[in-house]
Amino acid sequence: MSGGEHALESRLLKTGSERLALLGRHADVLMQAYTRDEVPLESLSDSALRKLLAARILWRPDEQSGVKLAPKVRELIAEMLADETRRHVNADVAETLELIRALVHSYREARSRGEHWRLEQQLMRLRQEVDDLNGRFADAIDSLWQRLNSDFGFVSQLNDKIRENDRAQKQIARLLDGLALIDFDELIELVGSDGGLRKLLISQLQQQLSHHYTSLREVQRRLIELMARFRKQQARSRLISGMAAFMREHPGFVPGNYARRSEVPGLVNQAAPLSAAAAPALDRNLDSRLLADLLHQLPQPRHTTQTVEAAAPAQAQESSLAAARQQALKQDVEHFYLSVIDQPQAEPVSALEYLHASPLEWPDEIWLFQVISEYQGLPRSDQKAFRLKQQESQASQFNHLRLIHDVELQLAV
């Protein structure tokens, strides 16, 4: 290994770490640039800006436009954050294959010339390229799974989800196309008999790629399923809002009576409910015992003890007599009400005049009392059918006691 090569390597290392450190030093500004369109220049000094531009962390598309984040850095941040809205799928396999072919040729040259150090370098770069290729597929597949598993949760609208799903399916198609470009027959020929290359480019790569292929097919299947679900949801939502709008616009809309058709559609054929009722039955010995047990388990009803008093016939007779008289009075008053209903022209009828004209022998006071209470006992709707007018006078000028002399009942027309 020559001294010049040593110097080159150490210079690369030094510049690389310096520039990587820039990322950390200006992390806040860079993240602001990531979320916005342009880099907020006010928070950067001139020299810092120059360094960031030199490191190609930032770039200026043209003189007029502002300073922006370099695409690779944006990609790096998106990758680190697993930010699915911006994660990028790079399926450019052709370019990598081209590079691998060139590296293999240059590796062979180095071997034939016995340049040991170059041989090592080429092998390392080959290994890196294969890892890169592998990593790109693994990353893309990871990103696709993330989006799938979150039901495209990073966008809220169904239409956006459908568009994202569509985009993801196109990415898969590109990745699969990329995989198809890798022709193992060609690679076998390319590596020839070299054991190390064979292991790296054939057995290892083949195993990894076939794993990616299976994963991609699985994601693709799931994406298509999810898309069908999205479309179904969209269709349902449209159907319901369409029907609701139609019914609002056509309030008199009545569909056909499907139940009267000769062939009743399956969907509207819904049988009437039946309840499977059961009651305790005592016609089986075994059950009777069980029922008896259940009966014993019931909580004791709390009856207050009732003393059975000795019958007192005279008293009972008297009270039943009173009840009978009360009933007779009520009936007579009801007849009075009926006669009021029968009045032609709905003329008012005086309760006392009716009583005196009839063969009834109730005291005036009791009669009036029952007529009034009958009126008050009527349901409100029936009360409205009658008008009860009381003839009354003030008992004395010293208080508000009023005496009722008579009442007149009239049909309210």
Partner 1 sequence: MIEHGPLLERLLAGEFVCPISDESGYRHLTNEETREEIDTYLRPLNRRLASNEDGSVYFLAWRQLNDNARDQLSRQLGDTLNSLLPLLEWLQLVQEALGRDTLAAPGDVLKPAEFSAKCEDNQSLRERLERLATDSFFGSQSDQLDAQVKQVFKRLKEHGYLLQPHSERQVFVVTGKIDYLVDLVRFIRDEENLPIEEGSEEGSGAQEALL
The binding site for partner 1 (CB under 8 A) comprises 156-159, 162, 231, 233-244, 246-248, 254-260, 264-276
To the nearest whole angstrom, how small is the minimum distance from the Cβ of residue 275 to partner 1? 6
To the nearest whole angstrom, how small is the minimum distance from the Cβ of residue 155 to partner 1? 11
To the nearest whole angstrom, how small is the minimum distance from the Cβ of residue 279 to partner 1? 16
To the nearest whole angstrom, how small is the minimum distance from the Cβ of residue 223 to partner 1? 16
Measured from the CB atom, is 243 or 395 closer to partner 1? 243
Closest CA to 111 of 99, 100, 101, 123: 123
Measured from the CB atom, is 262 or 307 closer to partner 1? 262
To the nearest whole angstrom, how small is the minimum distance from the Cβ of residue 201 to partner 1? 40
Measured from the CB atom, is 82 or 243 closer to partner 1? 243
To the nearest whole angstrom, how small is the minimum distance from the Cβ of residue 262 to partner 1? 9
To the nearest whole angstrom, how small is the minimum distance from the Cβ of residue 153 to partner 1? 13
224 contacts 155 by C-beta, under 8 angstroms: no
Measured from the CB atom, is 112 or 257 closer to partner 1? 257
Give the CA angle between residues 30, 82, 37 to the nearest 5°.
Answer: 35
Measured from the CB atom, is 243 or 341 closer to partner 1? 243
Measured from the CB atom, is 233 or 326 closer to partner 1? 233
Measured from the CB atom, is 242 or 280 closer to partner 1? 242
For residues 387 and 17, what is the distance between their CA atoms, to the nearest angstrom? Answer: 108
